[in-house]
Amino acid sequence: MNLPTTIKEIDNLKAKLDQYPSFNEGELARLREHFMVENTYHSNAIEGNTLTLHETRLVAIEGLTIHQKPLREHLEVIGHRDAFEYIAALSDHSELLSERVIKEIHALVLMNDTKNKGVYRKVPVQISGALDETSEPAQIENGMKQLLVNYHADTKHPLEKIAEFHLLFERIHPFIDGNGRSGRC
């Protein structure tokens, strides 16, 4: 299936979904929580976090700690959860994506790294296994500004626009760590 066909199918499914009654607040809260836990688990697992889906739920929802699991892994769950909740709150108020918002998301995701959270990197990095090269540190600030200008001016379908933004954000790779988790929130 090509992109226009996929987008049309998604729009058709959305139109069908819109014909059903809306969820009540309790149902929406349950779905949001379920998605947050799943998203947090998978995003952190990609980065090597060893907490299981069930353990992620216990840390994120119940506030429990998991015996003999590193504190860093618990903090990754809490940071990702907090970033997810922050984004949900922003979307409830229709706040526009900005550099400030991106840096705040990153600061939440990287909550355990006081030196680097929410700060653009100052050293070159390479993504292991990637063919694309990341932006040089001197290019990051202008690259992020241009990325946001283009994003807000873009008239493509929202899904295509978001996917392109994510791809370009990861290519710039503005932070020393936490780019993937920030982008996946």
Domains of the chain, start order: 23-95 (no CATH), 119-185 (1.10.3290.10)
Question: What is the pLDDT, as a whole number, of residue 129?
Answer: 80
93 is catalytic: no
Determine the distance from the C-alpha atom of residue 175 to the mean position of all C-alpha atoms in its chain, rounded to a whole number: 14
Q: What share of the chain is helix, strand, coil (3-state, %, to 5)?
A: 65, 0, 35
Residue with tokens 């982008």: 183
Q: Which of 74, 80, 106, 173 is catalytic?
A: 173
Alpha-carbon distance of 116 to 183, in angstroms, equals 16
Q: Are 82 and 100 in contact (CB under 8 A)?
A: no
Alpha-carbon distance of 24 to 11, in angstroms, equals 23
Query: Comparing C-alpha atoms, which of 57, 51, 9, 19 is closest to residue 35?
Result: 57
Q: Could you tell me which residues come within 8 angstroms of residue 83 by beta carbon, excluding any fewer than 6 positions away?
A: 105, 108, 109, 181, 182, 185
Alpha-carbon distance of 119 to 96, in angstroms, equals 20
**pLDDT of the chain, 185 residues: tens digit per residue:** 798 999 999 999 999 999 999 999 999 999 999 999 999 999 999 999 999 999 999 999 999 999 999 999 999 999 999 999 999 999 988 889 999 999 999 999 999 999 999 999 999 998 888 888 999 999 999 999 999 999 999 999 999 999 999 999 999 999 999 999 999 98
The letter for the amino acid at 162 is I
